[in-house]
Amino acid sequence: MKKLIIMALCVLSTFSVAAQNKVQWGIEVGAGLSTWMGKNADGSKPLFNHKVGVTMDIPLNWLVSFQTGLNWASKGASYKMYNDFVTGTNTFSTVHANQNYFQMPLLAAFHVAATRNFDMVFTVGPYIAYGVSGQSETDVDALTMSWATFDDLYLGGKYISDGYNRFDAGVQTGVGLDFKDWTLGLDADFGFCKIAPGASPYNFSMYFTVGYKF
């Protein structure tokens, strides 16, 4: 976690110093859906989630800019889980798994003049993320169980399952409208790292975003 924060600060400070007269800072909020993808994602269903963060846009020429920042991004999905460790029978319940990350995008942004009032912006590039918090919750008969998503699950001292992997990385792509002071966009994250040890799926999320530029 400390290494990720240090690396993020170094990237932000380096580009800020290198292009201090051109950098455009902003804030951004987004809402949308997250789920899991891959061959081991069968049965998972999307959850409504959000993200919020600070953005930075550094023009490289009239067409391309470098975009980065630091986001608080909520991801996760719902899935079915056996309850035999609680009830002693092979019954199912629905688990809602929430994963909260600090996430840094490293994007190439292509600006295409659409009208006199705004540009169309197409973005693509990698992201890196670190899981900082999250809760998984399920109802078993009249009992509600919750546990920390990124921690191993124990019940009465008995090991049940591994916690999720905290590190995540993948590709982010998006399209948006860039006005003088505001931005509107649609972003999608495709995770390349398994969410948990062993045979497990990957993160996928999509957010509608609104940003304000300083």
Cα–Cα distance between 76 and 181 in angstroms, integer?
32
Burial class (CB in 10 A: 0-12, 13-18, 19+), 48: exposed
pTM of the model as a whole: 0.85
Cα–Cα distance between 211 and 86 in angstroms, integer?
46
What pLDDT score was predicted for residue 120? 96
Q: Any idea what the Cα angle at residue 153 is, between residues 151 and 157, rounded to 5°?
A: 125
What pLDDT score was predicted for residue 141? 74
What pLDDT score was predicted for residue 17? 46
What pLDDT score was predicted for residue 5? 54
Three-state DSSP at 120 gives strand
Q: How far is CA 210 from the centre of its chain?
A: 16
What pLDDT score was predicted for residue 18? 46
Q: Which residue's structure tokens are 């966009």?
A: 185
Query: What's the pLDDT tens digit per position in 127-157?
Result: 999 999 999 998 877 778 889 999 998 877 8
Count of other CB atoms within 10 angstroms of residue 151: 12
What pLDDT score was predicted for residue 96? 94
Question: Which residues of the chain are under the pLDDT cut of 70?
Answer: 1-21, 84-90
What pLDDT score was predicted for residue 129? 98
What pLDDT score was predicted for residue 92? 79
What pLDDT score was predicted for residue 52? 98
What pLDDT score was predicted for residue 104? 98
